[in-house]
């Protein structure tokens, strides 16, 4: 049978390109989990995705209620779940003040990490029941959360500290809006959320891979300098960033190519290993990359997991 893949944030950028690539292969039915139904429908049509190759379902990761409703609706659809891709993200580099999710958590960590954390935990049960030969749970990471790289050393650097802000509820009142308890910084909040994504993937692997056989993976798809992720950046940055990545760092990757990379992590028979952070070299060949010390800290992953479970109401 066709595989069923759920992709969050499939209304633009990497998520859309991945949805298109998988739908076109004919091997996958793609569930596009998006906060803006109309935008997703228009994007799928504009990308030329064939009717019937995809379904759009409502999911706003800035609300834990919405996450639960998405899971209920997915279960009612009667489809099995074979692969889940946690792709959606927001990046607010120019924000001076934090904004908050419906549940009162700082938006970048709330959407990118906590919303996905709840979603992945709830849908794990559905994946366990699937009879698909290669089930995978993928969380999109980023080089920016990895301080062992050049890009990861551009200030403000990612760092979760002793997690005091996260443990305090990231509400900007009784606790800081930042995981490490520091002053709000929108760019850092994004990077921190990406470390949480990579730690979560590894903790899933440690807790559930042996028991379930599900492969847990993360990836850095390359710098896709043209996506909506940079929509809140200053205009000059948006103008110069793509050529800078193309000609200076040479890390630039097109949306189409990045979509093919993520589609490989979903479906390629050679990318089944669990607990891996995938990257691609300049010839577009995949390899297992190294995470930074903090992004591979098992004790920290466990702590982030336990605090996150409380914040999303799983314990």
Closest contact distance (angstroms) between CB of 291 and ligand NDP is: 14
Examine residue 15 and tell whether it contacts ligand NDP (CB under 6 A): yes
Binding residue count for ligand NDP, defined by CB under 6 A: 30
Cβ proximity to ligand NDP, 274 vs 279, nearer residue: 279
Closest contact distance (angstroms) between CB of 196 and ligand NDP is: 12
- DSSP sequence for the chain: --EEEEEETTTSHHHHHHHHHHHHHTSEEEEEEES-HHHHHHHHHHTTPPTTSEEEEE--TT-HHHHHHHHHHHHHHT----EEEE------TT-SS--B-TTS-BHHHIIIIIIHHHHHHHHHHHHHH---SS-EEEEE--GGG-TTSSGGGSSSPP--TT-HHHHTTS-SSSS-SSTTS----HHHHHHHHHHHHHHHHHHHHHHHHHHH--EEEEE---B-TTSGGGTTS-HHHHHHHHHIIIIII--B--HHHHHHHHHHHHH-TT---SSEEEEE-TTS-EEEPPPPTGGG-HHHHHHHHHHHHHHTT--
Find the residue with minimal CB distance to ligand NDP. 13
Examine residue 312 and tell whether it contacts ligand NDP (CB under 6 A): no
Examine residue 295 and tell whether it contacts ligand NDP (CB under 6 A): no
Among positions 20, 29, 35, 116, the unique one binding ligand NDP when judged by CB under 6 A: 35
Pattern of binders to ligand NDP over 223-262, x per CB under 6 A?
xxx-xxx---------------------------------
Examine residue 21 and tell whether it contacts ligand NDP (CB under 6 A): no
Examine residue 11 and tell whether it contacts ligand NDP (CB under 6 A): yes
Q: Which residues bind ligand NDP (CB under 6 A)?
A: 8-9, 11-15, 34-36, 39, 59-62, 87-90, 111, 140, 142, 220-221, 223-225, 227-229
């Amino acid at each position: 049978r066709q595989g069923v893949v759920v992709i969050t944030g499939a209304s633009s950028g990497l998520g859309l390109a991945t949805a298109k690539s998988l739908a076109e292969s004919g091997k996958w039915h793609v569930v596009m989990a998006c906060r803006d139904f109309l935008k997703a429908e228009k994007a799928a049509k504009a990308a030329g995705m064939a009717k019937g190759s995809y379904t759009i379902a409502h999911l706003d990761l800035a609300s834990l209620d919405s996450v639960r409703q998405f899971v209920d609706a997915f279960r009612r659809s009667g489809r099995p779940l074979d692969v889940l891709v946690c792709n959606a993200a927001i990046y607010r580099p120019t924000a001076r003040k934090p904004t908050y999710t419906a549940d009162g958590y700082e938006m970048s960590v709330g959407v990118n990490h906590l919303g996905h954390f709840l979603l992945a935990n709830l849908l794990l049960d559905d994946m366990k029941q699937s009879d698909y030969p290669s089930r995978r749970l993928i969380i999109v990471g980023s080089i920016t959360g990895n301080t062992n790289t050049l890009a990861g050393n551009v200030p403000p650097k990612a760092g979760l500290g002793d997690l005091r802000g996260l443990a305090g509820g990231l509400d900007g009142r009784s606790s800081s809006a930042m995981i490490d308890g520091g002053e709000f910084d929108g760019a850092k909040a994004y990077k921190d959320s990406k470390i949480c994504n990579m730690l979560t993937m590894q903790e899933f692997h440690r807790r559930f891979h042996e028991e379930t056989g599900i492969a847990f993976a993360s990836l850095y798809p390359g710098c896709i300098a043209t996506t909506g992720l940079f929509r809140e950046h200053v205009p000059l940055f948006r103008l110069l960033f793509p050529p800078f990545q193309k000609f200076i760092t040479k890390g630039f990757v097109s949306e189409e190519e990045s979509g093919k990379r993520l589609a490989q992590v979903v479906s390629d028979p050679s990318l089944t290993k669990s607990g891996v952070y995938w990257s691609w070299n300049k010839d577009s060949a995949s390899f297992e990359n190294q995470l930074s010390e903090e992004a591979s800290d098992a004790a920290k992953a466990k702590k982030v997991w336990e605090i996150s479970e409380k914040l999303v109401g799983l314990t």
